[in-house]
């Protein structure tokens, strides 16, 4: 088992591992409710695979192949337009979402804040006094906007020893650790809170810890109560936990691709999953702060708010992104949603990231134009 834990994200293992995380890492069940939000049968079948994409001219089939796709589900107005699964995959399979999990954590925050469990302007230490004096002695909103510049590098090559410590603390790689909630208070800031956008997964795990304390419930239960049951999920989901039961808010959520698309549909439909004001606020963010961060090259006209990307502030599109090619694309105006699970051979690839987003954008435009 330790060997599998050490290699599960490698190109040789990841396609199987990403769909079987519960056999590798301890997980908590995220329970669905009793009623499923039913999706109609796909409006366009295999013929859609031969359709060319506007930006590249490549067929949908070629796009799916080149972006190492495991599954994709496309909805329009809540109706299933297209879905595709790689050989050996079915609609019932779950797949890890990696950092798409962050965006779902943001939705839990919006729902809990609406209930009065906390305010985004509250201080983190009001809920988690264990981090007083650490990097996370900040406002809660700074967590949700990745505005806590840490002495920490999100280095998937593991050259930063702090990244190694972090991965061990989550139980994602072998090694001794006292757990995630022991690791987080050890982090320090390298510049003042709010000075810049700094993408760092521990920041979202800190947000998850705050949500647990504010609600008095474990993270898996919060995912179930505030997302999985309200969206009418078809299947239970999983959340990885460390050796002490701490849930991984930054990347540990696994679910079916259809259910991930259901999340996007409820956001686009304004069904009450989170308040409409919260969704509108996602499209604002702090563009100046975004421009100060290293990720500006991804979406130069975009911004970031509550763990959601807005690729272009002139268009109401939300985008959740995870390493190895996970994505949830939500066009709030046109009500087109695309959920995609993948097994890229590398965690990050600027070329694949660009190709993936452009492909999703093209597919969404085709669906909206009735040219699927």
Q: Where are the domains of the chain?
A: 2-86+93-368
Helix (H, G, I), strand (E, B) or coil at 167: helix
**pLDDT value at 149 more than 90:** yes
pLDDT of residue 2 exceeding 80, the answer is no
Buried b (16+ CB within 10 A) or exposed e, 278-288: bbebbbebbee
Q: What is the mean pLDDT of residues 68-74?
A: 98
Separation between Cα atoms, residue 282 and residue 87, nearest integer Å: 36
Q: Is the pLDDT of residue 84 over 90?
A: yes
Band the pLDDT of 296: cuts 50, 70, 90: low
In the predicted structure, residue 284 carries a pLDDT above the cut 50: yes
- Residue 3 has a pLDDT of 77
Q: Indicate if the pLDDT at residue 103 is higher than 70.
A: yes
Reported as a pLDDT band with limits 50, 70 and 90, residue 291 is: confident
Question: Average pLDDT of 344-372?
Answer: 88
Q: How far apart are CA 100 and CA 95, in angstroms?
A: 11
Average pLDDT score over residue span 48-74: 95
> Would the pLDDT of 79 be above 80?
yes
Assigned token pair, 98: 């990696």
Higher pLDDT, 294 or 230: 230
Task: Give the E-state strand segments of the chain in sequence order.
Answer: 27-30, 69-76, 79-85, 95-96, 237-240, 253-255, 303-305, 308-310, 317-322, 326-331, 336-342
Confidence at 372, pLDDT banded by 50, 70, 90:
very low
| Tokens of residue 38, six digits | 């039913």
Residue 371 pLDDT grade (very low, low, confident, very high; cuts 50, 70, 90): very low
Please choose, from the candidates 29, 2, 32, 7, the residue with its C-alpha nearest in 3D space to the C-alpha of residue 18: 7
Q: What is the mean pLDDT of the chain?
A: 94
Q: What is the CA radius of gyration of the chain?
A: 19
Active site residues: 99
In this structure, what token pair is assigned to residue 151? 């002495």
What was the pLDDT predicted at 300?
87
**Does residue 185 contact residue 209 with C-beta atoms inside 8 Å?**
no
| Across 293-313, average pLDDT | 87
Which residue blocks in 198-286 are alpha helix, DSSP H?
201-215, 219-223, 257-269, 276-282
CATH code, residues 2-86+93-368:
3.40.710.10
Q: What's the token pair of residue 112? A: 């809990």
Mean pLDDT is lowest, of 46-55, 212-221, 269-278, 282-291, for 282-291
The residue among 305, 316, 309, 296 whose CA lies nearest residue 357 is: 309
C-alpha to C-alpha distance for 10 and 3, rounded to whole angstroms: 12
Average pLDDT over residues 341-365: 96
Give the pLDDT confidence score for residue 196 in this predicted structure: 86
pLDDT score recorded for residue 370? 57
| Residue the block writes with tokens 């107005």 | 77
Average pLDDT over residues 17-44: 93
pTM above 0.95, yes or no: yes
Q: Helices 161-170 and 201-215, interaxial angle, to 10°?
A: 40
């Amino acid at each position: 088992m330790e060997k599998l834990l050490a290699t599960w994200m490698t190109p040789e293992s990841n396609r199987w591992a990403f769909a079987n995380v519960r056999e590798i890492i301890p997980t908590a069940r995220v329970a669905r409710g009793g009623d499923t939000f039913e999706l109609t049968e796909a409006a366009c079948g295999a013929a859609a695979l031969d359709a060319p994409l506007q930006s590249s001219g490549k067929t949908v089939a070629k796009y799916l192949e080149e972006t190492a796709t495991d599954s994709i589900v496309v909805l329009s107005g809540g109706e299933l337009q297209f879905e595709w699964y790689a050989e050996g995959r079915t609609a019932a399979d779950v797949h890890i979402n990696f950092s798409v999990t962050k965006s779902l954590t943001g939705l839990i925050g919006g729902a809990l804040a609406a209930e009065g469990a906390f305010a985004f302007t509250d201080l983190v230490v009001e809920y988690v006094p264990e981090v007083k004096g650490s990097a996370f002695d900040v406002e809660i909103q700074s967590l949700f906007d990745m505005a806590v510049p840490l002495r920490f590098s999100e280095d998937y090559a593991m050259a930063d020893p702090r990244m190694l410590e972090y991965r061990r603390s989550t139980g994602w790689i072998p090694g001794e650790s006292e757990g995630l909630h022991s690791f987080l208070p050890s982090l320090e800031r390298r510049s003042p809170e709010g000075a810049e956008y700094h993408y760092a997964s521990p920041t979202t795990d800190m947000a998850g810890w705050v949500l647990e304390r504010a609600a008095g419930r474990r993270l898996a239960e919060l995912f179930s109560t505030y997302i999985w049951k309200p969206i009418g999920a078809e299947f239970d989901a999983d959340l990885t936990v460390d050796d002490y039961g701490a849930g991984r808010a930054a990347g540990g959520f696994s679910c079916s691709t259809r259910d991930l698309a259901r999340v996007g549909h409820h956001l686009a439909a304004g069904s009450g999953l989170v308040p409409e004001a919260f969704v509108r606020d996602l499209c604002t963010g702090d563009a100046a702060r975004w421009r100060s961060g290293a990720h500006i090259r991804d979406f130069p006209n975009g911004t970031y708010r509550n763990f959601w990307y807005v690729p272009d502030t002139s268009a109401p599109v939300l985008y959740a992104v995870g390493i190895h090619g996970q994505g949830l694309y939500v066009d709030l105006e046109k009500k087109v949603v695309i959920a995609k699970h993948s097994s890229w051979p590398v965690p990050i690839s600027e070329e694949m990231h660009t190709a993936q987003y452009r492909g999703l954008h093209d597919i969404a435009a085709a669906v909206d134009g009735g040219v699927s």
